[in-house]
Homo-oligomer: A and B are copies of this chain.
Amino acid sequence: MTTADTTTAPVPTQSTYQNRVADYWNAEENPVNVELGKIDDLYHHHYGIGEADWSVLDEPDPARRRTRITAELHRLEQAQADLLAGHLGPLAPTDRVFDAGCGRGGGSVVAHLRYGCHADGVTISRKQADFANEQARKRSISDKVRYHHRNMLDTGFRTGAYAASWNNESTMYVELDLLFAEHARLLRRGGRYVTVTGCYNDTYGRASREVSLINSHYICDIHPRSAYFRAMAANRLVPVHVQDLTDATIPYWELRKQAEHLVTGIEDTFLTAYRNGSFQYLLIVADRV
C-alpha cells in the first residue's frame, strides 16, 4: 500500500478545545455506539434514517427486546451510512477516499466494501484510531483501509490524491472554512464531497435552547445551515444534491428514546429541536470543481 501521506505527520490537536473533544471521545463508551457496532463490527457514531420496525418494542422477552431494538437501531444507522456511501461513487478500486472524523471507523469500511477503494480515516482520538485499525486488521483490509490519529483540518495528506471524501456528523467540531479548504485541497478536480450533518436552521433564527443543549452535551458547536453553503462556495465545492433528512431521522430517535439500555439522555432534546423547526438533519453532496 502506498500511503497518500507526507513524511512528517502534523500535530493532531492544536487547541484546548480540541484536547477536550479528544478527551471526550477517548473516554466515550456509550452502549449506543459500542453495542450496535458489535453486531457486525461496523462501528458508527452517527444517527439512523428510515422507517423503523416498531414491533421490536412489543417483544415480551426483555433480553430479546433489547437485542432486537439494538439491531433495529443499527439497521437504521447502517441505512444512513449506505445513503452517504452511495453518493461517493462511482469509484474504482484504485481510487482513494478520505473519511474526515472517522470515529471507530465504520464509514471507511462501508466505502471500501462497496467500491473496493483505498480509505484514509482521520480522528483526533488516539483510542478511536487504534480501535479502528484493529478492526481493519481483523477484517484483513488494513492494506487498503487505514486510520490516522490526525487533525482533519491539517491532515498532511497529498494534494489532489482523493477521489471522494466525507464528514459524517463531524463538521460541528471545526471551522467550516478550514475544513472545506482541506477537502478542496485533497480532492482531485471533479472529486466528490458528501456530508451528513445536524445544522441549526437560519429560517428559525439563531441557535435555539435545544441546539445549545446538544452543543453542551457533545462539546460541539453546531453551524447554521447557511454556513455550509457559504463556506462551500468559497472553497470550490458545488452542491449537486441536498436533502433534508429531518423527517427520516425521527423514527430513529423515537425508537432510541424507548431503548432504556441505550439512551444517553439527549434523545428528547433532539426530538424537540427537530420538531420546533430549529434544527435539521441534512445531506449535502457536492463536487470539487
Q: Footprint of B on A, CB under 8 Å? A: 14-18, 20, 173-175, 188-190, 202-210, 212-213, 215-216, 219-221, 225-226, 229-230, 232-233, 236, 238-244, 276-278, 280, 282, 287, 289
Contacts and interface: CB of A to CB of B under 8 A. Distances in A.
B202 A209 contact: no
A242 B244 contact: no
Contact of A242 (B221, B226, B240, B277): B240
Question: Copies of this chain, how many?
Answer: 6
Given A225-B238, A229-B233, A208 B219 contact: yes
A156 B36 CA distance: 49
A225 B240 contact: yes
Contact of A208 (B20, B213, B225, B277): B20
A240 B205 CA distance: 15
A203 B241 contact: no
B204 A17 contact: yes
B206 A17 contact: yes
Contact of A243 (B219, B241, B277): B241
Contacts of A230: 233
Given A212-B213, A226-B238, A242-B239, A15 B219 contact: no
B15 A189 contact: yes
B203 A287 contact: yes
A89 to B, nearest CB: 14
A221 B289 CA distance: 16
A214 B45 CA distance: 26
Contacts of A241: 242-244
Contacts of A277: 16
Nearest to A205: B17
B216 A226 contact: no
